[in-house]
Amino acid sequence: MLEVKDMVVAYGRVNAVKGISFSVEKGQIVTLLGTNGAGKSTTLRAISGLLKLVSGSITFEGEPLDGVPAHKIVERGIAQSPEGRRLFRKMSVEDNLKLGAFSRKDTAGVKTDLANIYELFPVLGERRHEAAGLFSGGEQQMLAIGRAMMSRPKLLMLDEPSMGLSPIMTQTIMRTILKLQSEGVTILLVEQNASAALSLADRGYVLEVGQIMFSDTGKALLGDDRVRKAYLGAD
Amino acid sequence: MDLFWQQLINGLSLGALYALIAVGYTVVYGIVQLINFAHGEIFMVGAFGAFATWVVMGSPKEMSWQMAVFGLLPAMIVGGMIVSVSMALLTERLAYRPLRDAPRLAPLITAIGISVFLQEFVRLFFGDIPGMPDAKRAIPFPTVIGITGQSLHFGNVTVQISAIFTIGALAACTIFLWFYVNRTKTGRAMVATSQDPDTARLMGINVDRVIMSAFAVGAALAAIAGVAHGLRYGNIDFRMGFLAGLKAFTAAVLGGIGNINGAVVGGLVLGVVESMATTFIPGQFGSPAWKDVWAFVLLILVLVFRPQGLLGAKVVDRA
Ligand SMILES: Nc1ncnc2c1ncn2[C@@H]1O[C@H](COP(=O)(O)OP(=O)(O)O)[C@@H](O)[C@H]1O
Ligand SMILES: [Mg+2]
């Protein structure tokens, strides 16, 4: 479904992503792991069209994405919940969700999806007119995911959804991700919390300073020594 | 007491003029963090566009007041808007957009360049457009029967109809802006973009289009201000955008730059302070020559004691 090939992305003259290739198959959960500064967010930002590629290519459903502006990429079916959630903090929950559906014209469908989000996250429904900035970290993450879902994406990209959350809240978010997968959404999950991410992932890629070091199925990586040492805190 | 009411009305109508221009500074700043110093000239070309519309209509002079107020005046406003908005969009596309990722100073200097360019262009070439008078000196603004030179009297207080027009136009624009920002999709996209442009892109918002809307809305209001200025002072000239633009920019900062309501309040406060200062401050400091001084003293005081402006600048909030 998504095919990234030899992608190089730079900030100014510094390459942050140095020629990575990976793919995401329809229906899968694929995770990108790596420590701070590895280039995970840069990768997602490039796929979303916020950053231009220096070289390489991104193909989505067989169509190249290069030169496609960010707002058109959303229309093609790729949504992102960015790192740090980036909610419109002074706007209400409902306004945030409606912005997530900005590119859609089917008013009735948007209404249904709003109702679905409120069913999935009842706390958002109960407090839909309150400003997004007033919610707890976990609730804000739910809103960020809900907002991304409002575009009815085929591919949902989540950048560190567990950041700053309690283990229990992280569990809730991970269960939500599984639920979305079961509804047919393909997921590209960026995480520093390797154990949480690998336990869901069909496939994982490990990124270090802009390069993919190795990849395998989620299960295999959970048992992999290199991953255990570097990301799971084992000796 | 009559003098107080008289000066209050004068101040509010002057302030409404500032406010109509100030909105343009504030919406553009709120979205691209650019102080568009050419905005005063967008106001000026709006006035010239309204004038040109009148010429194109055959320079009509004799008509009923109904024709003047409901036919001629709206036509002039629309003509002014077309000129202002096209010019604003053209400068955005040709001058500012290519510099969007450049250091802040580059678009700022460009804005000053555009401002000089537009002034000189009107001064040198307006007269070369068939039918238009030479613009090297002030041009008398068309008389709108029923407005120009007319006034109402309340006891000893005189209210120019042009003042009522200006204040009414500001009121209508404020309501329109509230509706636009809060109730339309483009308006919501504008607010989202001003808070976080990258995340706005992730929502599927075409940020280029939002930026164009911001320039267009600001220019449309500036054109109304251009007509109001013509009706109030009876003439227009290529330099009119300089001081009016500077005052309107002051008003935008006063109210809190980036904040639309702030621009409205800032404009009105500035107008009232100017008008009161020339009346109630004794001696030479209250002379009309000191009017601009008091305006900028007010600005300095606000910047020292309330740097975010009266209503608070738009704080760009990013997580
Ligand atoms: N806006 C930016 N400007 C310059 N360098 C950046 C910017 N964002 C990230 N970087 C650099 O790019 C590299 C990759 O960053 P990032 O993709 O955010 O990593 P990760 O998401 O894996 O933590 C880092 O070295 C970081 O310092
Ligand atoms: Mg990151």
**Domain limits at B239?**
25-246
DSSP state of B102: S
Tokens 């006891």: give the residue. Answer: B155
On whether residue B8 sits in a domain, the answer given is no
Question: Cα(B233)–Cα(B138) distance, rounded to whole angstroms?
Answer: 11
Q: Which residue among A74, A100, A102 sits closest to B189, beta carbon to beta carbon?
A: A102
Q: Would you call B192 an interface residue with chain A, using a CB distance cutoff of 8 Å?
A: yes
> Looking at residue A233, what is its pLDDT?
67
On whether residue B48 sits in a domain, the answer given is yes
On whether residue B308 sits in a domain, the answer given is no
> Looking at residue B319, what is its pLDDT?
30
- Mean pLDDT in residue range A115-124: 95
Closest CA to B210 of A81, A98, A71, A131: A71
Ligand 1 close to Cβ of residue A40 (< 6 A): yes
> Looking at residue A234, what is its pLDDT?
57
Q: Which residue among A74, A84, A89 sits closest to B203, beta carbon to beta carbon?
A: A74
Angle among Cα B222, B34, B31 to the nearest 5 degrees reads: 80
How is chain A split among helix, strand and coil, in percent rounded to 5? Answer: 40, 25, 35
Q: Which residue among A69, A90, A99 sits closest to B188, beta carbon to beta carbon?
A: A99
On whether residue B307 sits in a domain, the answer given is no
> Looking at residue B318, what is its pLDDT?
34
On whether residue B299 sits in a domain, the answer given is no
Question: Cα(B95)–Cα(B111) distance, rounded to whole angstroms?
Answer: 8
- Taking CA–CA distances from A51, the nearest residue in chain B reads B198
Contact yes or no for B202 and A80 at CB 8 A: yes
On whether residue B257 sits in a domain, the answer given is no
Question: Which atom of ligand 1 is found nearest the CA of A40?
Answer: 22
| Segment A25-48, tens digit of pLDDT | 999 999 999 999 999 999 999 999
Residue nearest to atom 24 of ligand 1 (CA): A37
State pTM to two decimals: 0.92
Phi, psi of B181 (to 5 degrees): -70, -40
From chain B residues 207-236, the ones with a CB under 8 A of any chain A CB are 207
Ligand 1 close to Cβ of residue A73 (< 6 A): no
A41 C-alpha to ligand 2 centroid (Å): 4
Question: Which tokens hold the place of A147?
Answer: 């907002």
- Taking CA–CA distances from B185, the nearest residue in chain A reads A102
Q: How far apart are the CA of A100 and the nearest CA of chain B, in angstroms?
A: 5
Residues of A with CB under 8 A from a CB of B: 48-50, 69-71, 74-75, 79-80, 82, 84-91, 95, 98-100, 102-103, 133, 147-148, 151
Please give the tally of structural domains in chain B. 1
Question: Which atom of ligand 1 is found nearest the CA of A12?
Answer: 4
ipTM over 0.90: yes
What does the DSSP assignment read for B211-280? HHHHHHHHHHHHHHHHHHHHHHHSEE-TTHHHHHHHHHHHHHHHH-TT-HHHHHHHHHHHHHHHHHHHHH
> Looking at residue B125, what is its pLDDT?
96
Residue nearest to atom 6 of ligand 1 (CA): A11
On whether residue B238 sits in a domain, the answer given is yes
Q: Which residue among A74, A82, A90 sits closest to B317, beta carbon to beta carbon?
A: A90
> Looking at residue B101, what is its pLDDT?
87
Ligand 1 close to Cβ of residue A182 (< 6 A): no
On whether residue B17 sits in a domain, the answer given is no
Q: Which residues contact A122 (CB under 8 A, 6 or more apart)?
A: none
Q: How far apart are the CA of B316 and the nearest CA of chain A, in angstroms?
A: 10
Is it the case that residue A221 has pLDDT exceeding 50?
yes
- Mean pLDDT in residue range A172-189: 96
A42 C-alpha to ligand 1 centroid (Å): 6
Question: Which atom of ligand 1 is found nearest the CA of A42?
Answer: 17
A192 C-alpha to ligand 2 centroid (Å): 9
> Looking at residue A235, what is its pLDDT?
53
Question: Cα(B310)–Cα(A12) distance, rounded to whole angstroms?
Answer: 39
Question: Which tokens hold the place of A200?
Answer: 């869901």
> What residues in chain B have per-residue pLDDT under 50?
315-319
Contact yes or no for B192 and A91 at CB 8 A: yes
E strand or H helix that includes residue B97 = none
Closest CA to B40 of B295, B224, B257, B239: B239
